[in-house]
Chain A
């Protein structure tokens, strides 16, 4: 029998960049964590804006109009967010590829070893959220499914975002997909928030349970916040002025 070759002292793993920080596992994890923070902040901001729906059509349309009025700034934010999404996903994929390669043979007998379901589902939940975001953008930003949305304006001549949202969520299928997606987003965040503190090296033995609970609470708040909108629409707690028709599909 020959001595098994000493394990790969070989080539460095494929790296996105020649900067050691970005080719190293921890450096890339930091990027994922930092972009994660930006995306979480966006999600929270977006939620707060969306909740203006409960203040009525005027408040929501005014909020939408304010966003539009920021002009180039809005584009800067959009580009930053897009970059964050791209980096978050790209580095996750490169890390994932290395992780797959690091275990060429799986165990015959499985044991979860205390790993939470949220942690296990990070990739699935992340990808589902990504798919949802694309759909969501198509629906409300690009108005790809319902070109007539573009023509809806309120009495002050602003885009009638309120009508668009209520109309869309009046459809139970749209609402159901939305709730499912924000549910997965919540799961993604409950691991992601606690995890980013660990990755950024801010955790101690005492703080970890605090971050884990905190992450779970924030995730629930975000989930309930987002889910409250379609729920309220379906329960007719939020509704259109009676003159306007509802969901075109369900009629």
Chain B
């Protein structure tokens, strides 16, 4: 199989316009005849459901939460980028495009990224008209901040709750369509499999989490908007429920999984405090605008911060990256923190932490200003750790936070399974090997509001007269398989709680496929994961039955998928013998310890095809052509 990205011809600035000019249209009368299944109600899912319903498609939307508003997009704090140039500081679509490509360490597909930058402005227009209360100046204009190392101020934000406000905007648009009867919403419904008819994605099988009922749903096309897989690490900043199940089961039905090893480790999270810990909390990256990162120069220095004199502190980011300093990109800031901790200079319990110090900013701007800017974050930090960050430095440590990898999609957001479209974090397309801060929200909404409504016609225009129904044997067969899978889990009847396996898997992946990866480590991880998977199927304990709300069962299904997925992630990391973005192979670094890319061999997307449970996956490659942006080594010195 050859991966055809279907990138439109022409110069990069014209690709999207020319695509739209030539795209297949579906007339309003025909849209009514097409049914679209949307799985997930985060930014991508809600916005796609609302917009497609508005256009006249019959939309059926599913989420495993009790309300579409609870999807994990809601937790994004920082902001959303848009090339509006309201600040007159030299921003442009080109610059946003280039920053995203460069931020992604030249491993993203140019055409997609340019399109993303191009529609970024209309996303802001859209959200404002939905009532998203972005931060404003006193005169009433929208305000912006510089975010995640960008040299222009192009980030729009709503306090520290931008994701919440954007999601509630999309949720309200979705709610309006539900009210009009154009979207049929199914809450508490978890997608457990994809149904293929003649090789095309034509439906899904879901389990009702309240009643345990397993049902099939048929449509003309399926949109997966099911987010990322950070929870393969067990501890991440993702919500507890975030999982890989929908994309993983689509993978097992033939969708290629691209770049699974590309994960983003966020540098400013609250450090792990103990084994009981169930999740990690992210502190907005905006904190790095005013906080200075440091550790003691001496190893094992346990003095209180105020007793460590200035000359015995190592402001390592300022030292190593003078021009970017504390605002160095996420992957660099994270890896630097790991390095100093590996050297034994980490602070706090277990030595896994570095200081983020606001004393200089408080002295310069006053506590009041700092309180205004970050009050809620300081409060959150105080609540979790019991420490007052106005008086002593915060302790931070990197944590997994976003996954750039995902199901492979072409320019139309369609996967290798015809009819299966993948949007938002669930696909791989726009961020390359590392995501620029404030770009995730942009991508989710761009895919849902502006891309899929234009690209869906390419597939649907080929599907006239090909109606399917859940009575077809394909649906019955898949349903039976899902039932068997649930029953298999319930039949294990071991005595080890699901969380235990998940935690152990997380430790393996964090250690060997986290901030730094090595061949030996990855090989060991693959063996360990296989052993753990075997234990899981012998010892997992799932009390209760399948015909009720059974949270152990839900989690067990998701962890079972993570246990398979983790292996693919390590295989991908092992195969990619270079360092790029969030993927750092210790064998491939410059003498100064920076990531060393091998553009000659690896400027390509790795997409993996499932070949059966007992066989190695097949590797497909999509070469990345850089026609507009020039391959360059990222330097933030």
User: Does A pair with B?
Assistant: yes
Residues on A facing B (Cβ under 8 Å): 1-4
Complex contact A1–B208 (CB within 8 A): no
Most B C-beta atoms less than 10 A away, residue of A1, A2, A3, A4: A1
A64 to B210, CA, bound (A): 71
* CB interface residues, B 201-240, toward A, < 8 Å: 208, 210-213
Q: Which residue of B is nearest A1, CB measured?
A: B548
Q: Which residue of A is nearest B188, CB measured?
A: A3
B496 within 8 A of A: no
* B residues less than 8 Å from A2 (CB atoms): 211
Encoded as 1 (CB less than 8 Å from any A CB) or 0, chain B from 61 to 77 comes to 00000000000000000
Chain B nearest CB from A115 CB (Å) reads 25
Chain A nearest CB from B385 CB (Å) reads 27
Contact-residue size bin, chain B (C-beta under 8 Å from the other chain): under 10
B547 within 8 A of A: yes
Residues on B facing A (Cβ under 8 Å): 208, 210-213, 547-549
Chain B nearest CB from A5 CB (Å) reads 12
* A residues less than 8 Å from B212 (CB atoms): 1
* B residues less than 8 Å from A3 (CB atoms): 208, 210-211, 213
Q: Which residue of A is nearest B208, CB measured?
A: A3
With A1-B547, A3-B208, A3-B211 given, name 7 new contacts (CB 8 A): A1-B210, A1-B211, A1-B212, A1-B548, A1-B549, A3-B210, A4-B210
* A residues less than 8 Å from B211 (CB atoms): 1-3
Q: Which residue of A is nearest B549, CB measured?
A: A1
* A residues less than 8 Å from B213 (CB atoms): 3
Q: Which residue of B is nearest A4, CB measured?
A: B210
A2 to B547, CA, bound (A): 9
Q: Which residue of B is nearest A3, CB measured?
A: B211
Instruction: Determine the main DSSP class of A at the interface with B.
Output: loop
Shortest 3 CB-CB distances between A and B: which pairs?
A1-B548, A3-B211, A3-B210
A67 to B210, CA, bound (A): 69
Chain B nearest CB from A4 CB (Å) reads 7
Q: Which residue of A is nearest B212, CB measured?
A: A1
10 contacts between A and B (CB under 8 A): A1-B210, A1-B211, A1-B212, A1-B547, A1-B548, A1-B549, A2-B211, A3-B208, A3-B210, A4-B210
Chain B nearest CB from A7 CB (Å) reads 13
A1 to B547, CA, bound (A): 6
A4 to B548, CA, bound (A): 11
* B residues less than 8 Å from A4 (CB atoms): 210
* A residues less than 8 Å from B210 (CB atoms): 1, 3-4
Chain A nearest CB from B199 CB (Å) reads 34
A248 to B212, CA, bound (A): 79
* B residues less than 8 Å from A1 (CB atoms): 210-212, 547-549
Chain B nearest CB from A1 CB (Å) reads 4
Chain A nearest CB from B554 CB (Å) reads 15
Q: Which residue of A is nearest B547, CB measured?
A: A1
A1 to B213, CA, bound (A): 9
A205 to B213, CA, bound (A): 48
Chain B nearest CB from A197 CB (Å) reads 27
Chain A nearest CB from B129 CB (Å) reads 27
Chain A nearest CB from B159 CB (Å) reads 17
* A residues less than 8 Å from B208 (CB atoms): 3
Chain B nearest CB from A118 CB (Å) reads 32
Chain B nearest CB from A210 CB (Å) reads 26
A168 to B547, CA, bound (A): 74
Chain B nearest CB from A3 CB (Å) reads 5
A1 to B211, CA, bound (A): 6
A97 to B421, CA, bound (A): 52
A4 to B208, CA, bound (A): 12
Chain B nearest CB from A164 CB (Å) reads 64
* A residues less than 8 Å from B548 (CB atoms): 1
* A residues less than 8 Å from B547 (CB atoms): 1
A111 to B450, CA, bound (A): 50
* A residues less than 8 Å from B549 (CB atoms): 1
Chain A nearest CB from B212 CB (Å) reads 7
Chain B nearest CB from A214 CB (Å) reads 31
Chain A nearest CB from B545 CB (Å) reads 9
Chain A nearest CB from B456 CB (Å) reads 32
Chain B nearest CB from A179 CB (Å) reads 48
Chain A nearest CB from B509 CB (Å) reads 36
Chain B nearest CB from A136 CB (Å) reads 53
Chain A nearest CB from B552 CB (Å) reads 15
A3 to B210, CA, bound (A): 6
Q: Which residue of A is nearest B548, CB measured?
A: A1
